Structure 1
Amino acid sequence: MADDSRINQPGIIGSYAAIGDSFTEGVGDPGPDGTFVGWADRFAVLLADQLPVPDAATIPEDSPHGNFRYANLAVRGRLLDQIVEEQVPRAKELAPDMVSFCAGGNDIIRPGTDPDDLAERFERAVADLSDAVGTVMVTTGFDTRGVPVLRHMRGKIATYNIHLRAIADRYHCPVLDLWSLRSVQDRRAWDDDRLHLSPEGHTRVALRAAQVLGVDVPADPDQAWPPRAQRGTFEERRDDIHWARDYLVPWIGRRLRGESSGDHAEAKRPDLLPLRPDLLPR
């Protein structure tokens, strides 16, 4: 039988569940099995690496990380209330050592959304989670000053972020502050759709999340990007036109039809399972 005492030491995280929307599901970071990887999967590997090395006899055959368990309940397109209804109860049932909670981004970008009201609903969910799990990590929104279409919502996002920080203070939650992560202001941190992170962007977020918990990381998430060639105005405008045709127009169309990219999607990892080596991010 495995010696769980090493997992339950103060400050040691032996199980982790992620809840949220497309950001936490990992959209923009395709994996080897056809699903997305994303920052939460990469963060899970960093958390697993901080566990004490168990005896060989206690290591599950399908996991190189001993007794560490990880679930990802996030589904693309989900609004805050959907996450609270669908994912929070499952996270409470799993009762992991830690839950990362990122929600409200899809609400904020909708016209007429009140960030004050949204924050009140978010806080009720944090209070509910805090009674059932060891630690709740609260995740803020990105600074959208350089994101087409979303830059005019920067004030709403900033207001929501201030609320999230206050909620985190009240419930003693660590904060994954994405607004202050300067490296994701670079265009290379984002996927072609300009709404989701690229694999490197997801990696930067995972490194920052580990730093928040005091976990040793192999690289600085805010390290400078390599220099790149300057682009001309014509190239930038051509890319903007292609982006609008391929991503913006379909996105607007789904909004007008009341559709979501996650209408038929399910959680990719609904149970606390070991990290299989063939599915680990590289």
Structure 2
Amino acid sequence: MSHDDHPRYVALGDSQTEGLGDGDDIVGLRGWADRLAEHLAASTPGLRYANLAVRGQLAAQVRAGQLPAALALRPDIATVVAGVNDMLRPRFDADEVAAHLEAMFAALTAQGARVATVTFPDITRIIPVARPLSPRVTALNDRIRAAARRHGVAVADAALHPAVTDPRLWTTDRLHAAPLGHERIAAAIAYALDLPGSDDSWTRPLPPPDGRPSRWDVTTQEIRWATTFLGPWLGRRLRGRSSGDGRSAKRPHLLPVLPGQDLGDDRIGAPGTDGPHQF
């Protein structure tokens, strides 16, 4: 238990942990980490929660920029989810990325935190043109599982369950979970942590969709996706830019989480701030 007897949950990661796809930057982002904090709060009175995630960050950036702040907050529970942005870069070294993740696992568990992470689904089932990246996903997932075993980290093994690639769990950009997807990620991590009220329902398929799209509809959707999302994404990479440039954590402070509380907006700088102001 933390020094002030309030249990503490700290989330480290990139856009998925920040909550992209579940809300927006105007009304506020929710995301799976907020949902997990809400689940924790239901059975953990006095829970304090901080979310240090920043969209677009690579695993090395999460380690360098977020880990020191996380350690300073002395969490009882921590989640570390990063690596997708690395896999999407032209140069990718699974060993290097996994080493950054393992360093975070080691530092947090050594301090006494219960740590959880996830494996990544086969993105080629969501983005068919990403087929060349499939070996990268497999390689990183294998290393995540091995590192987690070495440090006693709980793993929500999403890669083993095809249900998580259902398009209805993903936004139209296909890179970020939709609200239902964030709900399932939170449920998966809660189950990995064996939290009260958790179960394996997150692994089960959704009901069959009504009807099947025509080949023309599928082709149209692929063209629209490439022009709306893939083109701008490639443009940012060619210019050496990231969606996280100039951004900071949405919830850098340890703030109370009350059962039934909506964490979707107006969280930074709220009363009861606990911990460093920046990372």
Q: Normalising by structure 1, what TM-score?
A: 0.85
Letter paired with 2:166: D
Aligned residue among 194, 215, 224 for 1:233: 215
RMSD over aligned CA atoms reads: 2.0
Matched ranges for 1:150-189 at <5 A: 150-189=130-169
1:108-147 correspondence runs (5 A): 108-147=87-126
Give the Cα separation in 1 of the matches to 2:251 and 2:82: 18
Q: Which amino acid aligns with 2:81?
A: C
Per-residue Cα deviation, 1:189-235 (whole angstroms, up to 9, x for no partner):
11010111100011011111111111213881123312222110011
Segments of 5+ residues of structure 2 without an aligned counterpart are: 265-279
Give yes or no for contact 2:8–2:48 (8 Å, CA) kept in 1. yes
Contact 2:102 2:147 in 1 (8 A): yes
Query: Structure 1 residues 21 and 225 mapped into 2: Cα distance closer, same or farther (>3 Å)?
Result: same
Alignment-mate amino acid for residue 39 of structure 1: W
Contact 1:109 1:150 in 2 (8 A): no
In percent, how many aligned pairs have the same letter? 39
The reply on whether 1:88 has 2:81 as its aligned counterpart is no
- In structure 1, distance between residues paired with 2:30 and 2:151: 29
Q: What is the CA deviation profile of residues 151-187 of structure 1, one whole-angstrom value per residue up to 9, with x for unaligned ones? A: 3211111111111111111111111222123322111
Q: Which amino acid in structure 2 is aligned with residue 137 of structure 1?
A: A
> Does 2:231 correspond to 1:249?
yes
Gaps of 5+ in 1: 8-13, 52-65
The aligned counterpart of 1:39 is: 32
Query: Which amino acid in the other structure matches residue 262 of structure 2?
Result: L
Q: CA deviation at 1:33?
A: 6.3
Aligned counterpart for 1:202 among listed residues 182, 196, 213:
182
Checking the alignment, whether the CA contact within 8 Å between 1:204 and 1:221 is kept in structure 2 is: yes
Tell me the amino acid that sits aligned with residue 212 of structure 1: A
Helix, strand or coil: the match of 2:124? Answer: coil
Match of 1:279 in 2: 262
2: CA distance, partners of 1:154 / 1:219: 25
Partner Cα distance (1:260, 1:92) in 2: 26
SS of the residue corresponding to residue 213 of structure 2 reads coil
Structure 1 position 92, deviation (Å): 0.1
Q: Within 2, Cα distance between the matches of 1:33 and 1:132?
A: 36
The equivalent of 1:26 in structure 2 is 19
Kindly state the Cα deviation for residue 32 of structure 1 after the two structures are TM-superposed: 9.3
Q: Which moved more, 1:142-151 or 1:21-30?
A: 142-151
